[in-house]
Every structure is written in structure tokens, then in C-alpha cells.
Structure 1
């Protein structure tokens, strides 16, 4: 059972998501919060596995709320709920430690699957939407994160064929187990490859690695 805390300033969305996600067998809604500071207080008390956080709220928004939770409660993962108009904040939230983001109008089943993916160690970056935003230059934090370069960094050429395969899987949001099954290697080997990728590309974590894969359209040799 995955324990989830829902954070949104709109009662209709909070109650609607709570009702719909409660119908999913593996999800248990432990509570709700109305903005970021409330989310931290509720998360401290309820100890959810995942916080489903709206990005734009009055008071403490989802970006700052993510920072607070990841700083104070690093074992709790945050999944951002957003809209196309919130695109400039998405990478801010990822930089603060969010494990991905979802559009609010996605089907309940998609949101439930994303929650499961994050719970099991994956990253959720809707590939087509992310690529579209990057192509339009709307995610300025992505440019900042990778030095504003339009061409793939030189470190990409240092990756082995297997490391590029793993990086491609990260861009698809797969967790270590899924990568291992897809490439017919052990999870321990995947972890080693991920560490090597992060080091060679000068990235902070697997979330940045996933963003890198999407931004540069990484494919295998």
C-alpha cells in the first residue's frame, strides 16, 4: 500500500483526487493539505510515502513546499501536479528534489501509475510534453542546469554503449528494476551504471539524468 498526501489549495481538486485515487487498490490517501507549509506539517505527522503537490498555490507554493519536505523529510518523495501555464516552475521544483511532475488533466489511472513509479524509485517526466516545453525554450531552468548549451555536453561521448542504454531508460522514467529487466542485467549493475552516468555528465542525481536524456533525445549507438 502506497500512502499519499494530497496538497492543493482548491477543495474540489483535493476531494476529487482523494476520492478517485482511493479507488486504486495500492493507494491509500492519508490526508490532505492546502499549501506548502501545511504540507510539511501534515507530512511530518502522517508520514506519507509520497506527497502529490500542486505547484501553484497561495502562501507557500509547490516549489518551496517541495524544498521544505525534501530538506526536513528526505525519505518522503514529492510528485508535482501542474498545468501547461505553470511550465516555468516545473524545473524549479525538480531542482528542489521533486521526483517528477504530472499534468492535472491526466487520467486517474495515469496519475496512479506515476505514483507507483515514483514509489518504486522511478522518475516521472511526461516525455512528449517535456520535449515540447524544452523545444519552445519555456523551461529556462533546464538551460541553466546544463550551462545553456544547445549541443550535448562532451561528457556524453564518454558514456559506454550500455550506459547510454541505461540513460535512455532513465529518460523514459524507468526505475532500476525496470531498467534491469529491460536490459537483462542486475539491479546492482544498473545502480553502478547510473552512478557512472551522473559522474561523467556532471549531474546531481537521476532526475537530472532523466531530464538530460529527454532534452538531448538520447538514443543508443
Structure 2
């Protein structure tokens, strides 16, 4: 039997999750608490296998609570629950020892599956959280021009190194004179590179080219 502790400052949400989980034959709710301070006081007495923890709580938020409780018992698994998640919180939560991130709009069957997977030692991320994490990793591993080159390649487009540099400066909002100064080129040369970019992207205007490149970089 998987012992689940629910930690959220909203009573109605705690009760709703409890009703769902207690309907499953292989898991049960062994406690419901309203904030992180209560978790640290009651952890040894409740002895949960998994904690469903709201990130945004008063007094002691879910991430800070997780840091402390993992020091007390590293075997306890923590699934963060949140309505809104930021890149900073994803990174902080993983660094704190979180085993999963789920949005509160999750379907019951997906919640049950996540609890079972994490109990078996896996890590679980909802789609929204995984998307944020992927973007973060890409930003760490590739600069904008490198990322643009990869995205262009995926669309069957090949830019020279200079064309990539000019394209990256285009989306930064630089005019031809500013691009020329950045790259130590003549304005006429920059204009020729921009014409080549238009041709490869099959566009006619600067705004169209910028919008196309911005879509690739999202």
C-alpha cells in the first residue's frame, strides 16, 4: 500500500485529492496538512511514502520544505503540485530533490499513474513542466545563433555563418548600419546578406523575415 501525504493550504483541494486516492486499492491518504512547517513536525509520525506538495504555500513553501524534509528522510518521495510554474521554480524544485512536477489540472488517472511510477523510483514531469525544462536546457547548451542553425536545418534551410549572424541581429531589432558595425562589414554587404536571407526564407519584407525567425526560436 502506497502511503500518501497531501500538503496544500486549500482545504477543498486536499479533500478532493483524498477522495480520489482513497478510491484506489493500492494507495491511501495517511495525512493532510496545510503548510510546510506542519510537514516537518509530523513527518516522523505520519511516515508517508509519497508527499503531494503544493509549491506555493504561506509560511514555508513547498521547495524550502522539501530541502529540509529530504535531510530528515531521503527516502520520502515528493511530487510538487502547482497551478502555475516558472522556469526558476522547476530548476529550484529539482535541485531541492523533487521527484515529480504535476499541474493541478491533471486527470485523476494520470495522477494515480504518476504516484505509482514515482513509488517505483521513476521521475515524473507533466507536459508543461517538461516543456519548460527542455527550453532551459536548450538555453544552457546553445546560444541563439546555434539554436537558429539547428531549427533552420530542421526546415531544410542552410544559412552561411555570416547569414546566421545577420539573421540573429535582425531579430534583435538592429538596422543595417548597426549590423554592419557589429560585424565590421559595409552596409552594402549587409544588405546583400539580408537579400539572400529573404530569398531562402521565401519572404519579401524585413518584418516577415523577423517573424519567421522568431517563430523558429520559440
TM-score (norm 1): 0.60
SS at match of 1:84: coil
SS in structure 2 at match of 1:30: strand
Structure with higher Rg: it is: 2
Question: Where in structure 2 are the equivalents of 1:33-112 lying within 5 Å?
Answer: 33-112=33-112
2:24 corresponds to: 24
Q: Is residue 118 of structure 1 aligned with residue 93 of structure 2?
A: no
- Give the secondary-structure state (helix, strand or coil) at the position aligned to 1:92: helix
2 CA distance for matches of 1:17 and 1:50? 14
Unpaired segments ≥5 residues, structure 2: 144-218
Alpha-carbon RMSD across the aligned residues, in angstroms, is 2.0
Q: Secondary structure at the match of 2:124?
A: coil
Q: Give the paired residue count.
A: 143
Distance 2:102 2:63 in 1: 14
Cα deviation, 1:66-87, whole Å, max 9, x if unaligned, reads: 1111111111111111123455
- How far off its partner does 1:18 sit? 0.8
2:142 to 150, 163, 181: 150
Q: Which residue of 2 aligns with 1:129?
A: 128
Q: CA deviation at 1:149?
A: 2.6
Query: 1:26–1:87: structure 2 CA closer, same or farther, 3 Å change rule?
Result: farther
Q: Flag structure 1 segments of 5+ consecutive residues without an equivalent.
A: 152-221
Residue 120 of structure 1, CA deviation:
0.5
CA distance in 1, matches of 2:56, 2:102: 13
